[in-house]
Chain A
């Protein structure tokens, strides 16, 4: 039964057991053109109440990472190695029934395009309620007589649906609960999906580009909502996006991914002020600064590689201006730990 305890947000330097820990996660997709390593060696630790941002271009493996945590990787993809430790338990080997109990209740996910994420044939209220029903969230006052108190149970669920909808900022929830998804605007739809995710008070929220499909003003509202959830409920959030600015504003920690490889990790301030990995440096160079006058914009030369046909060694080496001969050698590059918990995967820092 979920507790109603609210976990306080822990400041960065207080040690506490990680809520989620990934160790060398590898997720692959066998395709006709070869084996695609969508996630190759992802490792990080996430504490309660922490906000982690995973940044990368399209196809860098960010979404697959999230799906791997919940073991929702679509066929024919599968997790090929590594561990996903949630509250100390390895999710990779968990039984399916156990996994189902975790999905939605302990770990919830929101997706990119709210319109396609909501089932068009059910009302929004119904979809929120389903989450609760699956995990038996609303406890009946008297367990074995719950049949008799059916009506009571139903209205308790109903109350909770309305409360959650109000929490996420959906106006007139009583009428709105009976509406269908296509009757909502984009921002409202995303709030509805957030409501579904929150309905069981999860410890961890996985957000896959939640604002990409929305326009800027709505974006801000949704990010405010996520912030509020993090503050008030202590929910850890992993935010996946290609928008560095978003991460800079919202997250505590940031991971940079490229072609399935985890390239750099650190606190947002550290990484943005002093990026270590050449790819991160290139990314930050692309962003024009609002305060400076710039002559040129410096994109990273080259194109994102085809994951089925990666060059040997570091996948970024063809485009890297600091590449060395050992970067193209076909052997794994370890994650180097620098001061203050910074992680970089680059030969420049390997001792």
Chain B
């Protein structure tokens, strides 16, 4: 029964993805500026004949619906087109940079949860205590800080002044690492390459913190408020009346309930993480998808931008799907 519902959710994502692809496609086609002109602008003077030929090659002379159809057909197969500027298939380009972005996003999420969950719980249990007030003040600060500024300040502090952590990149220059998944931390674990592990972790710290801080703040606040609400419930009093140890009353009875609305918020934060990715990657020169997109924008490489945006949206939709499924496992009342 549950499996059917899950399948339903999965199937819903397909029309969403189509919608996303269409929106992205339309955006590109409806903006001023002829892609071929732009591309030609890189190469210098060309004859009209060559322009026409290129037009034909990229199907730009066909009516819009046909172009859309061709684009969608290609997208489903994984062929996202060709980058005019970098002269390589887009799928390849994205594939190369995607693991770095995922690693960063996961790192940030990990940091955010690591910080937010304990803080949320403790602040709720010890309401109005010093811990609570400091945490909530910190949370406020976290939501008011631009991620790029935080990154820069962290660099100033930890890399420049204290020299504890590196400034940029994913791994120390010259460190050998055999790549399996493209996720350096995972790969170094898999190949038992301890120097690489330490190096990649050190490089991951500051970017993860910069990216995850805002998310941590929001999740902490929501979890706290959810826990406070939950701890007021009658069933918590009953749990105590049963003679249950306070620790389990909080962690078992209250937390399970409080996590339910929190999970939804975490899902939304994943979207923010994916977006903020671009900024943090720029600040830390992290060789990921985000930085590539930003550069592509300046180089007017629209197909690349389009492909990358689609991949981002797709990842977000997938993440939300996972959150939805997680939500249904946590909340027995929901039959989707």
Q: Do chains A and B touch in the complex (CB under 8 A)?
A: yes
**Pairwise interchain contact A104-B243, C-beta atoms closer than 8 A:** yes
User: CB-CB contacts of B242-263 with A at 8 A, as 1s and 0s?
Assistant: 1111000000010011001000
Q: Assuming the A-B contacts A120-B332, A120-B333, A121-B331, are A103 and B243 also in contact, with contact meaning beta carbons closer than 8 angstroms in the complex?
A: yes
Q: Interface of chain B, helix or strand or loop or mixed?
A: helix
**Pairwise interchain contact A119-B241, C-beta atoms closer than 8 A:** no
Q: Which residues of A contact B240 (CB under 8 A)?
A: 72, 103
- Tell me the smallest distance from the CB of A275 to a CB of chain B, in Å: 33
Of the listed stretches B61-69, B170-178, B230-238, B273-281, chain A binds: B230-238
Contact with B332, one of A101, A102, A121, A130 (Cβ below 8 angstroms)? A121
B330 interface contact, C-beta 8 A: yes
- Tell me the smallest distance from the CB of A66 to a CB of chain B, in Å: 10
Q: Assuming the A-B contacts A119-B253, A121-B331, are A131 and B235 also in contact, with contact meaning beta carbons closer than 8 angstroms in the complex?
A: no
- Tell me the smallest distance from the CB of A193 to a CB of chain B, in Å: 7
Contact with A131, one of B242, B260, B330, B332 (Cβ below 8 angstroms)? B242
**Pairwise interchain contact A109-B235, C-beta atoms closer than 8 A:** no
**Pairwise interchain contact B332-A193, C-beta atoms closer than 8 A:** no
Q: Which residues of B contact A111 (CB under 8 A)?
A: 234, 237-238
B239 interface contact, C-beta 8 A: yes
**Pairwise interchain contact B243-A100, C-beta atoms closer than 8 A:** yes
**Pairwise interchain contact B234-A116, C-beta atoms closer than 8 A:** yes
Q: Which residues of B contact A113 (CB under 8 A)?
A: 234
**Pairwise interchain contact B241-A72, C-beta atoms closer than 8 A:** yes
Instruction: List residues 203-234 of chain B with CB under 8 A from any CB of chain A.
Output: 233-234
Identify the B interface with A (CB < 8 A).
233-235, 237-245, 253, 256-257, 260, 330-333
Q: Which residues of A contact B233 (CB under 8 A)?
A: 116
Query: In the complex, what distance in Å separates the CA atom of A52 from the CA atom of B50?
Result: 100
Q: Which residues of B contact A72 (CB under 8 A)?
A: 237, 240-241
Q: Which residues of B contact A193 (CB under 8 A)?
A: 238
Chain B residue nearest in CB terms to A96: B246
Q: Assuming the A-B contacts A117-B234, A120-B333, are A100 and B241 also in contact, with contact meaning beta carbons closer than 8 angstroms in the complex?
A: no
Q: Which residues of A contact B243 (CB under 8 A)?
A: 100-105, 131, 134-135
**Pairwise interchain contact A119-B239, C-beta atoms closer than 8 A:** yes
Chain A residue nearest in CB terms to B245: A100
User: CB-CB contacts of A118-132 with B at 8 A, as 1s and 0s?
Assistant: 111110000000110
A108 interface contact, C-beta 8 A: yes
Query: In the complex, what distance in Å separates the CA atom of A109 from the CA atom of B234?
Result: 12
Contact with B242, one of A103, A112, A120, A122 (Cβ below 8 angstroms)? A103
**Pairwise interchain contact A180-B241, C-beta atoms closer than 8 A:** no
Chain A to chain B contacts (Cβ below 8 Å), 25 pairs: A70-B241, A72-B240, A72-B241, A74-B237, A100-B244, A103-B240, A104-B243, A108-B242, A109-B238, A111-B234, A111-B237, A116-B233, A116-B235, A117-B234, A118-B238, A119-B257, A120-B332, A121-B330, A121-B331, A130-B242, A134-B244, A135-B243, A180-B333, A196-B238, A196-B242
- Tell me the smallest distance from the CB of A179 to a CB of chain B, in Å: 9
Q: In the complex, which of the residues B234, B238, B242, B333 has the most CB atoms of chain A within 10 Å of its own CB atom?
A: B242
- Tell me the smallest distance from the CB of A89 to a CB of chain B, in Å: 16
Q: In the complex, which of the residues A102, A120, A193 has the most CB atoms of chain B within 10 Å of its own CB atom?
A: A120
Query: In the complex, what distance in Å separates the CA atom of A91 from the CA atom of B116?
Result: 38
Q: Which residues of A contact B245 (CB under 8 A)?
A: 100, 134
Query: In the complex, what distance in Å separates the CA atom of A116 from the CA atom of B230?
Result: 11
Q: Which residues of B contact A166 (CB under 8 A)?
A: none
- Tell me the smallest distance from the CB of A107 to a CB of chain B, in Å: 9
A153 interface contact, C-beta 8 A: no
Instruction: List residues 53-86 of chain A with CB under 8 A from any CB of chain B.
Output: 70, 72, 74
Q: Which residues of B contact A342 (CB under 8 A)?
A: none
Chain A residue nearest in CB terms to B333: A182
Chain B residue nearest in CB terms to A100: B243
Chain A residue nearest in CB terms to B259: A121
**Pairwise interchain contact A121-B241, C-beta atoms closer than 8 A:** no
- Tell me the smallest distance from the CB of B246 to a CB of chain A, in Å: 8
User: CB-CB contacts of A256-268 with B at 8 A, as 1s and 0s?
Assistant: 0000000000000
- Tell me the smallest distance from the CB of B100 to a CB of chain A, in Å: 38
Query: In the complex, what distance in Å separates the CA atom of A74 from the CA atom of B234?
Result: 11
**Pairwise interchain contact B235-A119, C-beta atoms closer than 8 A:** yes
Chain B residue nearest in CB terms to A67: B237
**Pairwise interchain contact B244-A130, C-beta atoms closer than 8 A:** yes
- Tell me the smallest distance from the CB of B233 to a CB of chain A, in Å: 6
- Tell me the smallest distance from the CB of B98 to a CB of chain A, in Å: 36
Contact with A180, one of B235, B239, B244, B332 (Cβ below 8 angstroms)? B332
**Pairwise interchain contact A117-B238, C-beta atoms closer than 8 A:** yes
**Pairwise interchain contact A103-B257, C-beta atoms closer than 8 A:** no
Query: In the complex, what distance in Å separates the CA atom of A74 from the CA atom of B233?
Result: 11
- A-B interface, 6 closest residue pairs, ranked by CB to CB distance from nearest: A104-B243, A103-B243, A104-B242, A119-B235, A116-B234, A117-B234
Query: In the complex, what distance in Å separates the CA atom of A102 from the CA atom of B244?
Result: 11
Q: Assuming the A-B contacts A180-B332, A182-B333, are A117 and B235 also in contact, with contact meaning beta carbons closer than 8 angstroms in the complex?
A: yes
**Pairwise interchain contact B241-A104, C-beta atoms closer than 8 A:** yes
Query: In the complex, what distance in Å separates the CA atom of A182 from the CA atom of B332?
Result: 9
Q: Which residues of A contact B332 (CB under 8 A)?
A: 120-121, 180, 182
Query: In the complex, what distance in Å separates the CA atom of A100 from the CA atom of B256?
Result: 22
Instruction: List residues 116-161 of chain A with CB under 8 A from any CB of chain B.
Output: 116-122, 130-131, 134-135
Q: Which residues of A contact B330 (CB under 8 A)?
A: 121
Q: Which residues of B contact A102 (CB under 8 A)?
A: 243
